[in-house]
A and B are shown apart, each in its own frame.
Chain A
Amino acid sequence: DTGVSQNPRHKITKRGQNVTFRCDPISEHNRLYWYRQTLGQGPEFLTYFQNEAQLEKSRLLSDRFSAERPKGSFSTLEIQRTEQGDSAMYLCASSLGAVQLGYGYTFGSGTRLTVV
Chain B
Amino acid sequence: GENVEQHPSTLSVQEGDSAVIKCTYSDSASNYFPWYKQELGKRPQLIIDIRSNVGEKKDQRIAVTLNKTAKHFSLHITETQPEDSAVYFCAASSPGWSGGSNYKLTFGKGTLLTVNP
Given the interface pairs A41-B110, A48-B96, A105-B34, the reply to whether A91 lies near B105 with Cβ below 8 Å is no
Contacts of A95 in B (CB 8 A): 103
CB distance from B87 to the nearest CB of A (A): 9
Check B89 for interface membership: any CB of A closer than 8 A.
yes
Listed stretches B45-53, B63-71, B72-80; interface member? B45-53
CB distance from A29 to the nearest CB of B (A): 12
- Summed over the interface, the residue pairs from A and B with CB atoms below 8 Å come to a total of 77
- Chain A's interface size range is 20 to 34
Residue-wise, chain A 87-98 has the 8 Å CB interface mask toward B (1 for contact) of 000010001001
Known contacts A42-B110, A48-B96, A105-B46; 18 additional CB pairs below 8 A are A33-B104, A42-B6, A42-B91, A43-B44, A43-B107, A45-B104, A48-B103, A50-B103, A55-B97, A55-B103, A56-B97, A95-B103, A98-B101, A101-B101, A104-B49, A105-B34, A106-B46, A107-B44
Check B24 for interface membership: any CB of A closer than 8 A.
no
Check A25 for interface membership: any CB of B closer than 8 A.
no
A57 to B, closest residue via Cβ: B97
The answer on a CB contact under 8 Å between B98 and A55 is: yes
Check B81 for interface membership: any CB of A closer than 8 A.
no
B52 to A, closest residue via Cβ: A100
For this complex, 30 residue pairs linking A to B, each with C-beta atoms less than 8 Å apart, are A33-B105, A41-B110, A42-B4, A42-B89, A42-B109, A43-B105, A55-B96, A55-B97, A55-B98, A56-B96, A56-B97, A98-B101, A98-B102, A99-B102, A99-B103, A99-B105, A100-B31, A100-B51, A100-B93, A100-B101, A100-B102, A102-B32, A104-B34, A104-B46, A105-B34, A105-B46, A107-B36, A107-B43, A107-B45, A109-B42
